[in-house]
Amino acid sequence: MSLQLRCLYTHRYSLALVMTMLLLAAASGDSDTAMNIKAVLGHSVTFRCPSNHSEAVERLYIQKIINDKEKFINGFYKDRDMPWNEYQIRTKVNKMDLSMEMRNVSVSDEGLYKCYIFDIGVTNPKVSDIILEVTAEYSAPTITPDCTEHRRGVSGTGMSCDLSCSAVGGYPQSTIRWTGLNPSLTNVIYNWSSAHNDSKTWTINQTITYNCDQQTNVSCAIGGAVSHTITICKTQSFPLKVIAAIAFVLVFALLLIFVVVMKCFCGRQHTPEDQSGDVNVSLTEYRSQLKSV
């Protein structure tokens, strides 16, 4: 009985598995219609129009959707290339693998492209969507501290630091991450970001305040770009005042010793030489007396 039940369950599970796989296949079939490609700002990217290569292709158009209208980018008809526009210098169509290379990609190249393939003797083209995404790495962020000492009740003094982090030339807009800081002691006081008019890349700047009473190593990052690490709230083994006081006491003590030594030395100089000879004599006398005893 238990074997039968197990068989039934296995059957059900495998059925469920098949159903899931069918659903997944359907989902991936859907996403296949829009192909996502990525390009790095200033670099090249290749748009590949999906094709079976079983039919001879007569025409190929690659168009971009701009403000809900299609704009012709590049393509070919029979043996003729058809780049008639500003894209001519940056794009090149490869008839063999039905692809288009685009050089020096800019942020404004981002968007939805459509690829039309007309087989010989066929009026309805095969249409496929290609979505281009552009990224640009931010410059290594610069981190600048501005620390002041502050009193915190009776527990003593700590530091309050304004930390600024900024980076330029990145895309898309991103957020600044701090490492090495306790989030509960961190306060964002200033956020600023702006896109460059022409390149559309972002400049990002953030300032936070951080309260600390022990040495802390901190760095900031935007995307994959990381600043160098700086050390804030450097613990001084003694406050400056204490060091000054100790130095003062030391100098005073040294002076005192010096004065005492000088006094002794001078006093000795005043005593006549023969007196010390007397001492020696008396000492030898004493010794001889001791021996005789």
Which residues contact ligand NAG (rule: CB under 6 A)? Answer: 50-52, 104, 106, 126, 164, 166, 175, 188, 190-191, 197, 205, 207, 215, 217, 231
Minimum CB distance to ligand NAG, residue 207 (Å) = 5
For ligand NAG, the closer CB: 114 or 126: 126
How many Cβ atoms from other residues are within 10 Å of residue 214's Cβ? Answer: 10
User: What are the C-alpha distances in Å from 6 to residues 11, 12, 14, 15, 28?
Assistant: 8, 10, 12, 14, 32
Q: Which two tokens stand for residue 116?
A: 């039309």
Comparison of 50 and 277: residue with beta carbon closer to ligand NAG: 50
Pick 197 or 280: Cβ nearer ligand NAG: 197
Question: What 3-state class would DSSP assign to 244?
Answer: helix
Query: Minimum Å distance from CB 234 to ligand NAG?
Result: 10
Q: Please, what is the minimum distance in Å from the beta carbon of residue 51 to ligand NAG? A: 5
Q: Nearer to ligand NAG by C-beta: 74 or 164?
A: 164
| Cα 150 to Cα 216: distance, rounded to the nearest angstrom | 16
Rank residues 10 and 194 by Cβ distance to ligand NAG and give the closer one: 194
End-to-end CA distance of the chain: 123
CB of 208 to ligand NAG, least distance (A): 9
**Smallest separation (angstroms) from ligand NAG to the CB of 69:** 21
Residues 115, 127 contacting (CB under 8 angstroms):
yes
Distance, CA of 87 to CA of 91 (rounded, Å): 6
Q: How far is CA 195 from the centre of its chain?
A: 19
Minimal distance in Å, beta carbon 164 to ligand NAG? 5
Q: Where are the alpha helices (DSSP H) in the chain?
A: 2-32, 240-270, 273-292
C-beta closer to ligand NAG: residue 190 or 252 = 190
Q: Minimum CB separation from ligand NAG for residue 270, in Å?
A: 59
Cα-based angle 233, 236, 241 (whole degrees, multiple of 5): 120
What burial letters (b/e) apply to 116-128, b meaning 16+ CB within 10 Å?
Answer: bbbbeeeeebbeb
- Beta carbon nearer to ligand NAG, 63 or 106: 106
Residue 20: φ, ψ to 5°:
-60, -45
**Ramachandran quadrant class, 153 (left: phi over 0; alpha: psi -120 to 50; beta: rest):** left
